[in-house]
Amino acid sequence: MVFRACSARRGGAVFSFNHSVLNCPHSEYGIIFMRNISIRLDETTREKLDALAQSQDRSRSWVVNDAIQAYFEHQDWIVEAIKVGIADADAGDFIEHDDLMAELKARNLAARK
């Protein structure tokens, strides 16, 4: 049995209660067991974090977790794009640099006319 605290906002008031469920419908994270980490932030970054969290009516932890997830998604996209590029190059599906520059120069000149 897992005991988790849950806070619900209703009309500006916060109602807190404890219950023995794995998922709180008001949880920011759903059924995920979170671990604590510690980071050091300069004062300006912490102030920005606090302002963003307050403007979204979220906790610092939620904002940081959301930012890290977005970073991972972006990095995953970059890694996948690199893999596709390498596969294209290995298959000979690419254009030489000098040929590309000549093509771009020709298009630029044509656009100016």
Domain limits, the chain: 1-34, 35-112
How many CB atoms sit inside 10 A of residue 38's CB? 4
Rounded percentage of the chain residues whose pLDDT exceeds 90: 65
pLDDT, mean over the chain: 81
Residue the block writes with tokens 């979204």: 56
pLDDT tens track for 17-52 = 444 434 455 555 555 677 888 999 999 999 999 999
